[in-house]
A = this chain, B = another copy of it.
Amino acid sequence: MARKKVKLAWIANDSAQRSTYKKRKQGLMKKINELSTLCGVEACAVVYGPYDPQVPDVWPSPSDAHRVLTQFKSLPEMERNKKMMNQEAFLKERMAKMREQIKKQQRENREFEITQLMNRTLIDGTGQILQNVETKELKDLAWMIDEKMKRIQKRIDSLRSTMESAVQQINGTGIQTTTEMEAAQRQIWGVGNDFANGGMPYADNTP
């Protein structure tokens, strides 16, 4: 998440995983503390770390954690399930959001293409094609387009990798959404390729 966007997948390298675990567990505990303080709610977290599987890391105090958990376990099954979020629901929710983002992106892309077309042919309000545009203006226009293109490419790349992570996770959990996901992927890749090969002045943005 810094210097490089990390893939949401199991870290095979042992020392890297260890380091990530320490950092992220600390971050998580801080977040839970903040949520609890800011909203005045009871909360607890239990994490079985990769070191000693017999001794979990727990927040907050032993007594509080116990009270929270006992309370939780004493609820009738039905009540308990009400607000529970399992991984499948969690991922599906995120997928729905992503699909929305993709649609929005496509709308933006269409708008952009039209604007781009207009800028290329440089038609004025009366339908006249402008012939003798100053060089500086052209340069400014090119720069502006370039900047916009970069922003769009960035967002596309971001969506793409997020999507890939989700696909991996879902495939791993055996959830049957392959068709949907493939369609969504085709949409993203399609858009990405349109821009990558659309005859723009720069060729390749990949490292």
> Using a CB–CB distance below 8 Å, which chain A residues touch chain B?
6, 8-11, 17, 20-21, 24-25, 27-29, 31-35, 37-50, 52, 54-62, 64-66, 68-69, 71-73, 75, 79-88, 90, 169
Contacts and interface: CB of A to CB of B under 8 A. Distances in A.
A39 B54 contact: no
A-B interface, 10 closest residue pairs, ranked by CB to CB distance from nearest: A61-B86, A43-B47, A45-B45, A21-B39, A42-B48, A58-B84, A55-B83, A24-B35, A55-B82, A62-B84
Contacts of A75: 54-55
Nearest to A31: B28
6 contacts: A10-B39, A42-B48, A58-B83, A60-B85, A60-B87, A62-B84
Given A62-B86, A79-B54, A83-B57, A48 B38 contact: no
Contacts of A8: 34, 37-38
A58 B69 CA distance: 11
A28 B35 contact: yes
A167 to B, nearest CB: 14
B69 A73 contact: yes
A35 B21 contact: yes
B32 A20 contact: no
Contact of A38 (B10, B40, B46): B10
A62 to B, nearest CB: 5
A169 to B, nearest CB: 7
Given A11-B39, A38-B10, A62-B86, A32 B45 contact: yes
